[in-house]
Structures are given as structure tokens and as C-alpha cells.
Amino acid sequence: MFRKTFIAAATAAVVAAGSVSISFAAECIAPANPGGGWDFTCRSISKIMYDIKVIDKPMQVTNMAGGGGGLAYSHVVNKRNTDADLIVAASSATATRLAQNAYAGMTYDQVRFLGSIGGDYGVIVVAKDSPFQNLNDLVNAVKADSSKITFAGGSAAGGFDHLKVLMTLKKAGFDAVTKVKYIGVDGGGDAITQMIGGHVQAMTGDISEVVGFIKNGDVRVLAIFAEERLPGEFNAIPTAKEQGLDVVALNWRGLYVPKGISEDDYKKWSMALDTVGKSDEWKASMAANGLMPFHKVGDDFQNYVGGLMKEIADLSREIGVIK
């Protein structure tokens, strides 16, 4: 309660001049500063929940940056374990860090993963004037001389963008994963700018990060890491799988809730998320932001996250991010 009073006071201090008062029903924690994917998850899901009246008051979005999401995770596990009015944004990055033991020993079963209602498939793109025409051209170039190709991505070394490249190269039989050159910059937009500028040869990221550049013709997508080609305007993009490299990498966007809440409350949130996922508003939001449907809610999703853990942990051990 103390925290909530504080947030209310802070908001009131700023808003007082506008003499508008807001009351909040529930809270969504975005475990990062405003502007990133988690922030987007919280803000769009909470907005839609309110717009379609799944909740009757606007939801407060709290940004709790720190430890790559670890601070919020520890906050939820230790201090809010029974808070039924709380949802927290999560993504593949949450799973990656949990698997790499980057949250100070906390494990994925200390919260309940609620579900994911959208995902962002991984892509590898090159500039339009690049000599690489397909994924195998690029992979073969790395195999021939890995010092000539640098990848840029929006996550730090060992993060999901980096792992996608390594998974692909391993599938192609290139095992010297530590030799692969990767620079982590401040987000996908930055990575693509570096690539178009010719400072690096390829960019690894998510499809939503490159939508504008595809339409503009500045980049060529060598592969999308999806099971099958996407529908609609992205149908021309070949999957990695059809090029003989069976890698599927999905950056899902979802939520978790505290573990100690009642089964009824868990159900209530599951239903709310399910409704949002099926709403036209969410479909419009996904379409505008390049997200693809990826609808897994409830226990099904908790198991899915468990499976991911193992896969990521194995690969991370191999590249030396974890011992």
C-alpha cells in the first residue's frame, strides 16, 4: 500500500496543475524504462483491457527498470507474491535471462506465466546492396571467414538476438560460435541504421523492427525464423526452414502474475488476457506493429516457457555466457 500511495502522490504532484484526478484499478509493471517492448506490452494491453471494458478503471503502468527485468522479478517474488491486482510484462528476453541465471538465482517457477497473445518472429536482414541473396549465402560467408561478417542486434551479447544467429549457424554445421562477431547496440532501430550505413554486414532482430525499412526497400530480409511463411504483405519473405536451416525463433510478448494469487484470480486474468488477444483492437495493434498472432494462455504457456528454458540454457553454456 505504501508504494501505491507514493505513486499516487508522485502522479498527483505532476498532474495537480491540470487538476485531473485518475484512479487506477490494477497495475501493470513494465520492467524497463519507457520506450521498449515491455513498455509497449503493458501500455497496449492495459489500454485495450480498459477500452473493451474487461476492467472498469484505467490500469496504472509502472516502469520498474533494473537488472534487465530482474529487479521487477525480484520485487514481484519477494514483495507482491499475493497481489491479485498485478500483471507484469514479459517476453523471450525474460526467459533468456532466467535461463542464463541472470536474475540472481531466481527461477521461472517462482511466478506464474499467464500467457502470450502476440509474437514477433526473428529475422536476419541485409542492406539492399548486399552481395548476400539468401540465408545460405550469408551462412557460407561466415563459414568461409567469420572475421569478415559482423552482426548487429538490439540486445546485449548473449541476448536473444545474438542467440538467433548462433542457432542458425549451428544448424548449418558451424560450431565455432565464439568466433562469430556480434555487436549489441541500443535497440533494433539502431542496429538497422548501423547496417544500412555499411558499418556491419547483417542485422538480427524482430520483424516488427524492420517493417518500415522493408516497405521502403532499404533492406532485404534473408530469412524469417517462423514455422511457415507469414500471411499477407510479408508472404514473400522466405523462412529459414525452407532454406534448409530449421530454426524457429519467436520473441513472444506476454505477461506473468505473482505465484501466490488464488486460482480464481489466475483464471480471471487468463480470461481477460484471452479476451484482449481475440479483440479487434489487439489485432489492429498487432498489425500496426508487425506482431503476429501467437496465442497461448494459461498452463499451456507455463509449460512452453519451461521448454524454452532448457534450450536457451544449453546454447548459452556453449557460448560461455553461463558456466
Partner 1 sequence: MEVFDLLGVGFAVALTPQNLGLAVAGCILGTMIGALPGLGPSNGVAILIPLAFSLGLDATAALVLMTSVYYGAMYGGRISSILLNIPGDEPALMTTLDGYPMAKQGRAADALVLSGVASFVGAMIATLGLILLAPLLSKIAYLFGPAEYFALYLLAFCTLGGVASNNQAKAAIAAAIGLGLAMIGLDGNTGMSRLTFGSLHLLEGIDFLVAIVGLFAVTEVFVFIESQGRDSAVGVKLGKITIPYRDIIATRWTMVRGTAIGFVAGVLPGAGASLGSFLAYTAEKRIAKDPESFGKGDPRGVVAPEAGNNAAAGGALIPMLTLGVPGSGTTAVLLALLMTLNITPGPTLFTDRPDVVWGLIAALLIANVVLLILNVPMVRFFVKILSVPPQILLPAVTMISFVGIYSLSGSSFDLMMMIAFGTFGYALRKLDVPTVPIILGILLGNHMEDNLRRAMVISGGDWKILFSSGLSIGLWVAAIGGFVAPLFLRKLMNKPQRITD
Rounded to a whole number of angstroms, the minimum distance from the CB of residue 47 to partner 1 is: 6
Cell numbers placing 39: 513498455
CB nearer to partner 1: pick between 19 and 263: 19
CB nearer to partner 1: pick between 213 and 234: 213
Q: Are 276 and 54 in contact (CB under 8 A)?
A: yes
Number of H helices, E strands in the chain: 11, 10
Select from 285, 209, 284, 216 the least CA-distant residue to 251: 209
Rounded to a whole number of angstroms, the minimum distance from the CB of residue 124 to partner 1 is: 18
Rounded to a whole number of angstroms, the minimum distance from the CB of residue 267 to partner 1 is: 27
Sign of CA dihedral 283, 289, 292, 296: negative
CB nearer to partner 1: pick between 45 and 240: 45
Q: Alpha-carbon distance 294 to 199, whole Å?
A: 34
CB nearer to partner 1: pick between 36 and 122: 36
DSSP 229: P
Rounded to a whole number of angstroms, the minimum distance from the CB of residue 52 to partner 1 is: 14
Rounded to a whole number of angstroms, the minimum distance from the CB of residue 274 to partner 1 is: 21
Which stretches of the chain are assigned E, i.e. beta strand? Answer: 27-30, 60-63, 86-91, 111-127, 150-153, 181-184, 202-206, 219-224, 250-258, 296-297
Helices 280-289, 37-51: inter-axial angle, 10-degree rounding: 150
Rounded to a whole number of angstroms, the minimum distance from the CB of residue 290 to partner 1 is: 7
Q: Alpha-carbon distance 275 to 297, whole Å?
A: 11
CB nearer to partner 1: pick between 71 and 84: 71
Cα dist. 236→22, 47, 135 in Å?
46, 33, 14
CB nearer to partner 1: pick between 103 and 108: 103
Rounded to a whole number of angstroms, the minimum distance from the CB of residue 243 to partner 1 is: 26
Helices 160-171, 92-99: inter-axial angle, 10-degree rounding: 80
CB nearer to partner 1: pick between 52 and 183: 183
